[in-house]
Amino acid sequence: MAYPLDVARSHFFRPDLTIISDEIWEKVQKRIELAKTIHPKVKKGKREGYSKTNPKSLLSGTLRCGKCEGTMAIVAGKKPGYFGCVIAHQRNFCSNMLKVPRSKLEKIFLGELFSKVLTSENLLYVYDKVEKEVKKIVSIAPKILKQKIKTRNRLEKEVNNMIRFIKAGTISESITSELIHSENQLKQINKDIQRISESNKKTFPPLPENGSTLKLVK
């Protein structure tokens, strides 16, 4: 019977047979998750186009031809160049031969962005929502910290008991394996406690008194 990788690791994990550390394992898993966000899958076996995952300009991968709905990209001119329908200019399967200066498109886009989206009112609204979420998270931190400390105390007791068994001559492969597992758990718990304790010291910076007139640099 085949098991998913995470299930197999949790149920059949043998610390004595490991060839890489838990730290390296965690780094690899984070890297895999990061790669998924950089090259997101649209359908099974397919990924987003190169222009979307590796944009060379502000509007790369976002513009579509109004006639064939194909991708629009830099098709002519030196930097900054001209945007046009790729299917029309490179494959001759579309009749839309229009070319628009990249600088003109970006100017229009940024103008709309600053006038309709990145307004002081909208930014204040987002700031207020984020501040409330941060306060909510910080409010439950003491409870989580208390639970983590309780778990740490239990693990320290288990580790000390196993060490006493080993010193008394009661040693076996299962005790050694469990000791390694408990010590790894204890190490992670201590990291969690330190992270939570440090987060409690940080506060969400308040807006300046003239926050209602936030300045944006274009």
pLDDT digits (tens, 9 = 90+) for 135-174: 887 788 888 889 999 999 999 998 888 888 888 877 778 8
Q: What is the pTM of this model?
A: 0.45
Contacts of range 174-180, beta carbons closer than 8 Å, 24 or more positions apart: 176/16, 177/14, 177/15, 177/16, 180/15, 180/16
- Measure the CA–CA gap between 213 and 205, rounded to whole angstroms: 17
CA distances from 69 to 19, 161, 199, 200 (A): 51, 68, 47, 50
Q: Between these two residues, 7 and 126, which has the higher pLDDT value?
A: 126
Q: Looking at residue 82, what is its pLDDT?
A: 92
Give the three-class secondary structure for 27: helix
The answer to whether 105 touches 81, Cβ cutoff 8 Å, is no
At what angle are helices 173-201 and 120-167 packed, to 10 degrees?
A: 150
The radius of gyration of the chain's CA atoms, rounded to the nearest angstrom, is 28
Q: What are the structural domain ranges in the chain?
A: 57-117, 120-213
Q: Looking at residue 212, what is its pLDDT?
A: 45
Q: Between these two residues, 205 and 161, which has the higher pLDDT value?
A: 161
Q: Looking at residue 202, what is its pLDDT?
A: 63
